[in-house]
Structure 1
Amino acid sequence: MRVEEGFQPVPFQEENTYTSDPVLPDLLKRTLPPSVFQQIEPDLIRLGGEIITSIRSLGDGNKISPPILTQYDQWGRRVDNLQTSEGWRDLKAVAQKEGIPGIFYERKFKEHSRVYGFAKMMMMVGDTHEVFCPLSMTDGSARVIELIGTPEMKKKILPRLISRDPSFAFTSGQWMTERPGGSDVSRTETTAVDTGKSHSFGPKYSLNGFKWFSSATDSEVSVALARTGTAEDGSRGLSLFLVPLRLPLLRERSDPPSSPVSNNIFVHRLKNKIGTHALPTAELTLTSTEAYLMGEPNQGIKNITPVLNITRLWSAATSVGNLRKCLSIATAYAKVRSIKGGSQLLQDTPIHVAQLASINLLYRALTHLTFGVISLLGKSECGVATTDELRRLRMLTPAAKAFAAEKACAGMEEAMAALGGAGYMEENGIGRSIRDALVEKIWEGTVVVLALDLARSAQDRESMESFTSWANRVISSAASDLQEIIQRPLDLLKNALEELRTAYTQPLPPLIPRPALMLVASIASSVYLLEHAIWSRTTQGHSSEVDVEVFRRWVLEGGTAAAIEDVKKAKEGANNRIDNNFAITFGNKRKARM
């Protein structure tokens, strides 16, 4: 039989990324002022159509490929010529033209600009091959310059970082990770020596060291940590610097391009990664590299914190955006794939729709959680956040990043399986989304690292009170008739809050941080879904029943009960469990260490 003969599978057709989304339109309608929503929705509808046509085509296999590094020329001279693919450059340019990250700093919509920009980013992320990695660091670097940059940095560098003109715009890296410590920067080996000279951008330093992971090696600048104190000072001896990747940093468009090694930054090698293949990630040697101090000396950790907070929310949105892409494919496939001899579509098969509904439930919960925290970030940056909102932002930033990264990949795998063998094919993009999204479990902190970070803020009594008071206010705002309908999930949610109150008591049990983070994120996502259900029941009669059901299912079936039990287990018998964990892992009881 010829391939053209016999049964012909019907290709699925994805719809407009915005209008077909089960969450974004109503979420934005609820959280944005009507005047803002009416202005931005046409732009989101336009973008939703372009994503599945022109933007997606920029990332096809003929245009995008891994970067290539040529370290030496024919005569043995060090050149470190890094070539990225046409598709990579075009996708980055499209994102910049769409106002990412420019929207955040134009602030046309004030504190709501963050929600608007992140909505565009999340819609695009599954089709843009991780260009938002460098753009997220560009966003963070722009914020640092806005807060503590010198006047000349604000005048000459900031406008380029937030520009919508790709021919003028800069992107920025973020160099923290080194071989001794990974996420622990206290053992940073890169040193910074004051040259005693001044530059228009600030005090000029000379950096020497080795950076183990530098995503966005094709950027124009980077922010970097380097040691100005002694090794014994640990993280207290680190300062933050703005590093030009090439010199001169600012040149006329008619000038020849600067040499890649003009600032004594040498690419040791490109990383061979599981995913994010188009993204140039490298190991870099800094040898008397010129850099400019940002902020006060030995305040590097404090000064780079805005970068970390911003990129963690980008990471959460990336996890959710990749899940959105996979769910969209699985939903579209169910509308065309027939079974039972062609007599029944998958969308009419209850057991299959149940699988899609569980993925949809996860997507809704993660989206509401992520955008709830994004909204807090917008308020913080515009100076309109209350003290309680700032405390919640501090707690929920690591929680949202870790929770989204942990949960989204499992949902993406379910979406792949919903297509059967067709889901395992590279052409549909699910495989790439899964590979790319796996890095979010590691980048900007693993779940364990983030759980320890959350513990530092959650142990503050006022922070925990701000969080629990907010949750209880939302619960109590539900009308009495609604409370009767959702009494079981409300009771479980209240139990979760009670368990959380004692989770972070001093001394902190050693096994508590990870399950406690999961409990915080389960509670927060549930509260955001409840907030939406209350609004929907009041204003959106056509969808209120679904929104109430989503809240009910998420609390009862989404893992809240398991999160409560995990926290209880971590509180009880910790020492015995730690010993047994060691024996299970290494085959013998651990020995006491002096």
Structure 2
Amino acid sequence: MEPSSANTGFIQQQPIIKNQFHDDVSLQRISKLYLPPSLLEKVTPEISSFGASVLQPQIFTWITDSELNKPYLLGSGRDAFGRPAASQSLIVTEGWRKLQEFGFANGVVASNYDPSSSSSHGEYSRLVQFIRCHLWEASCANTLCPAAMQDGAARLLQRHLTTPKLVAQLGEEQKRVFENAYAHLTSRDPAYTWTSGQWMTERTGGSDVSQTETVATYAPFPSGQPVPLASKEENIPLGPWSITGFKWFSSATDSQMTILLAKTRPGLGVSAFMAPMRRWNPDIVCPTTGQKGGTELNGVTISRLKNKFGTVGLPTAELELKGMRGWLIGKEGEGIKEISTILNITRVHTTVSSMGYLGRGIGVAKAYALVREAGVGKGRRLPLYRHPLHMRTLANLTSEYHGLMLLTFYTLYILGLDEHPSPSAATQKPNHPLTPPSKLVAPLLRTLSSLHKSFICHSTVPLSFACMESLGGVGYLINSESEHLNLSRIFRDACVGAIWEGTTDVLAGDTVRALKHPAVGKEGVQALDWFVRTGLGEQAGEERERIKKVWEGLGRRLEKQKQEDLLPEARGLTHRLAEVLIAVLWIVDARVRPGREVEGMKGRWMGKHGFGLLSDDNTTETKVEGDGGLELDLAIVYGEGGPKGVVEGSVPGVSKL
């Protein structure tokens, strides 16, 4: 018997995270389900390379830097002699900047807007983009948050620059301003690329923008005089609207522009504006060189930075606006309509971020199970991947994850169809049958936009905690020394998904309102009915009949009950709708690519969510055809054949598989 010390005795081997594009069983199934085979073959080398690059040691060093060195405001707003500072300076860490530049250079946003034929994938562009975002999320230290708003702003400006009716409303000067901003937003050059803010939230009601207290006044500059510039180098003029108010929760405070909401006239709804964050001031004097002329914030004062539970590297602030100059987007009073374009994008980004955190958590848990032992009684020890209880827990967790992935990426597929209403005749069809008629795309997206985020972001929080728990005490540590294993950071950041871009209840209420809307609600119900019936097909089966029965019951409630009566039950109703959609997607997935592991996952998911086979006492239970116990669990978690590359001696007492 030899006593241990700080450096001798047993020391746990560190788990190695593999490239998740190949190691994530769910992501592989999703890619093959939603992308045509020829396109998947085309994009696989680049995505595989990207999946490896996001796990490089330098990435995790930058993450640690962004976590330990939070953003801050330089000084107190005055210089050493008491004069007001010419402009506030927001300082972000080098790690944050480097991670953001990595994202720019790798086109996490720009790839969706690349016009070249070799890079454009039509209606599949969003799917390809978000497979990459899924891989990047847990390594980006939340730089994908401003990228999400960058993406939304790019899509909004793209609509106004390509839709003939909207282009006709633009003056030549405003068109040039929009084109300049769009070029910045869709660039891959870190020195040129912009991110964007999305300023909606105020103290009056969070997501309830009807009580907005920000006011915009049309105040064009005097004719005959030079128009002040947002950018001297690019000769971009400031806008004719003067905006004043207070924004309570502004992420991406280090962005170069913003899209914001403000009121313009009493009795009129809110309007949308685009405004640069900075403007040229020829009278500013540099305090160190004496040089005259420079940029300052565009009528914006950072009141304070928020101190948050997670996402600590992301600069989030309260902003006071006094005469911020901007440009009206669309028509006065139609700001909700305009901002909805951005919300469709930022909501899927938020959902993919939640799924990216969960995917990484499962990846770490899988890797840990390969190198960690646990006692099983009477002096016996087993590696965790051979421990029946541990692997059953991971298999059930993987089943829940895959169900959420099915709905997330189907929503992205519908988003791509909405953005590309005229697919090329040469475009190859996907493997699944769930491509809706063109008239149902918009109503289906309108419903999915709120529904998928309400359910998925809420569901991933306890699942992300389960990943952290699977590592035991080491999972609870901050682990900046081994940042790639830092599941406590991932859990903290995952919690925000159920809050940002609309909380669980807000979006559940939005789903009910969309389905009960007097003008378009019936279209949404019709689209859901098409989805369920098409996905289930004509084949008989108790599982299918149970899904159909649940859907028909929900449909009757939506048809007969008033909106005000449904609203108190909106969360339960919306989440049950989400479960119906996921159940249908399970049926489709298992039919397109059958196999023991997918049947195992499907059976367990159906049983847990009330769609499984009925037992003798008329309760739902999990029944899996050919359940192989531990071996099936290994196939679910690691893929058919179980974990690869486990060699004799890597864990004490483990023989080669």
Same fold (TM over 0.5): yes
AA aligned opposite 2:339: I
**Residues 425 and 389 of structure 1, relative CA distance in 2, 3 Å threshold:** same
The two structures have a TM-score, normalised by structure 1, of 0.87
SS in 2 for 1:360: helix
Whole-angstrom distance in 1 between the partners of 2:292 and 2:54: 32
Q: Which residue of 1 aligns with 2:321?
A: 286
SS in 2 for 1:443: coil
Q: Which residue of 1 aligns with 2:447?
A: 395
Q: Is the 8 A contact 1:55 1:91 kept in 2?
A: no
Larger radius of gyration: 2
**Which 5+ residue runs of structure 2 have no aligned equivalent?**
162-173, 228-235, 282-290, 423-436, 480-484, 613-657
Whole-angstrom distance in 2 between the partners of 1:75 and 1:39: 62
Whole-angstrom distance in 2 between the partners of 1:458 and 1:298: 23
Whole-angstrom distance in 1 between the partners of 2:343 and 2:250: 15
AA aligned opposite 1:415: C
1:508-523 paired onto structure 2 within 5 Å: 508=563, 509=565, 510-523=567-580
Deviations 1:303-362 (A, max 9, x none): 111001110110110111110111111111111101236741011011110110111011
Q: Is the 8 A contact 1:115 1:375 kept in 2?
A: yes
**Residues 203 and 14 of structure 1, relative CA distance in 2, 3 Å threshold:** closer
AA aligned opposite 2:271: S
Q: Which residue of 2 aligns with 1:91?
A: 99
2:396 to 351, 354, 358: 358
Q: Which residue of 1 aligns with 2:258?
A: 222
Whole-angstrom distance in 1 between the partners of 2:207 and 2:345: 16
Whole-angstrom distance in 2 between the partners of 1:258 and 1:376: 48
Q: CA deviation at 1:196?
A: 2.9
Q: CA deviation at 1:461?
A: 2.1
Mapped pair 1:376 → 2:420: no
- The structure in which a higher percent of residues are helix is 1
Q: Which residue of 2 aligns with 1:207?
A: 243
SS in 1 for 2:189: coil
**Bigger Cα displacement from structure 2, 500-509 vs 193-202:** 193-202
SS in 2 for 1:23: helix
Q: Which residue of 2 aligns with 1:189?
A: 213
1:169 to 163, 170, 193: 193
**Residues 106 and 494 of structure 1, relative CA distance in 2, 3 Å threshold:** same
Matched pairs, number: 538
AA aligned opposite 1:86: E
Q: Which residue of 2 aligns with 1:471?
A: 532
Q: Is the 8 A contact 1:519 1:560 kept in 2?
A: no
Q: Is the 8 A contact 1:126 1:321 kept in 2?
A: yes
Whole-angstrom distance in 1 between the partners of 2:262 and 2:493: 29
Q: Is the 8 A contact 1:173 1:217 kept in 2?
A: yes
Mapped pair 1:275 → 2:310: yes
Whole-angstrom distance in 1 between the partners of 2:81 and 2:419: 51
1:128 to 105, 118, 140: 140
Deviations 1:527-566 (A, max 9, x none): 22221111103xxxxxx222223222222214669xxxxx
Whole-angstrom distance in 1 between the partners of 2:513 and 2:603: 31
Deviations 1:198-244 (A, max 9, x none): 977795100110000110000000001011021xx2xx431111111
Q: Which residue of 2 aligns with 1:412?
A: 464
**Residues 202 and 44 of structure 1, relative CA distance in 2, 3 Å threshold:** same
Mapped pair 1:158 → 2:182: yes
The two structures have a TM-score, normalised by structure 2, of 0.79
Q: Is the 8 A contact 2:88 2:302 kept in 1?
A: yes
AA aligned opposite 1:458: L
Q: Which residue of 2 aligns with 1:565?
A: none
Mapped pair 1:243 → 2:275: yes
Q: Which residue of 2 aligns with 1:585?
A: none
Whole-angstrom distance in 1 between the partners of 2:610 and 2:64: 39
AA aligned opposite 1:221: M
Q: Which residue of 2 aligns with 1:68?
A: 72
SS in 2 for 1:163: coil
Whole-angstrom distance in 1 between the partners of 2:468 and 2:451: 26
Whole-angstrom distance in 2 between the partners of 1:157 and 1:264: 19
**Residues 347 and 261 of structure 1, relative CA distance in 2, 3 Å threshold:** same
Whole-angstrom distance in 1 between the partners of 2:303 and 2:610: 44
Whole-angstrom distance in 2 between the partners of 1:497 and 1:225: 38
RMSD after superposition: 2.1
1:327-366 paired onto structure 2 within 5 Å: 327-340=362-375, 343-366=381-404
**Residues 517 and 90 of structure 1, relative CA distance in 2, 3 Å threshold:** same
Q: Is the 8 A contact 1:174 1:214 kept in 2?
A: yes
**Residues 5 and 304 of structure 1, relative CA distance in 2, 3 Å threshold:** same
SS in 2 for 1:247: strand
SS in 2 for 1:5: coil
**Bigger Cα displacement from structure 2, 78-87 vs 172-181:** 78-87
AA aligned opposite 2:561: Q
Q: CA deviation at 1:259?
A: 6.0
**Residues 493 and 129 of structure 1, relative CA distance in 2, 3 Å threshold:** same
Q: Is the 8 A contact 2:196 2:258 kept in 1?
A: yes
**Bigger Cα displacement from structure 2, 171-180 vs 147-156:** 147-156
**Residues 217 and 51 of structure 1, relative CA distance in 2, 3 Å threshold:** same
Mapped pair 1:525 → 2:576: no
Q: Which residue of 1 aligns with 2:427?
A: none
Deviations 1:503-528 (A, max 9, x none): 32331324221111101111112222
SS in 1 for 2:201: coil
Q: CA deviation at 1:63?
A: 5.4
AA aligned opposite 1:80: Q
**Residues 110 and 339 of structure 1, relative CA distance in 2, 3 Å threshold:** same
Q: Which residue of 2 aligns with 1:111?
A: 123
Q: Is the 8 A contact 2:219 2:242 kept in 1?
A: yes
AA aligned opposite 2:123: E
Mapped pair 1:80 → 2:137: no
SS in 1 for 2:568: coil
**Residues 403 and 63 of structure 1, relative CA distance in 2, 3 Å threshold:** closer
AA aligned opposite 1:38: E
1:498 to 552, 566, 581: 552
**Residues 320 and 63 of structure 1, relative CA distance in 2, 3 Å threshold:** closer
Deviations 1:94-131 (A, max 9, x none): 11111121011115111111001100001110111111
AA aligned opposite 1:517: T
Q: Which residue of 1 aligns with 2:60?
A: 57
AA aligned opposite 1:511: P
**Bigger Cα displacement from structure 2, 337-346 vs 416-425:** 337-346
Whole-angstrom distance in 2 between the partners of 1:153 and 1:366: 40
**Residues 59 and 491 of structure 1, relative CA distance in 2, 3 Å threshold:** farther
Q: Is the 8 A contact 1:145 1:153 kept in 2?
A: no
Whole-angstrom distance in 1 between the partners of 2:332 and 2:38: 45
SS in 1 for 2:19: coil
1:535 to 592, 595, 599: 592
1:548 to 599, 607, 612: 599
Mapped pair 1:31 → 2:34: yes
Q: Is the 8 A contact 1:245 1:260 kept in 2?
A: no
Mapped pair 1:6 → 2:9: yes
Mapped pair 1:430 → 2:491: no
Deviations 1:446-488 (A, max 9, x none): 11110111112222223212212221111115xx5xx5xxx44
Whole-angstrom distance in 2 between the partners of 1:202 and 1:260: 13
**Residues 356 and 241 of structure 1, relative CA distance in 2, 3 Å threshold:** same
Mapped pair 1:263 → 2:298: yes
Q: CA deviation at 1:52?
A: 1.5
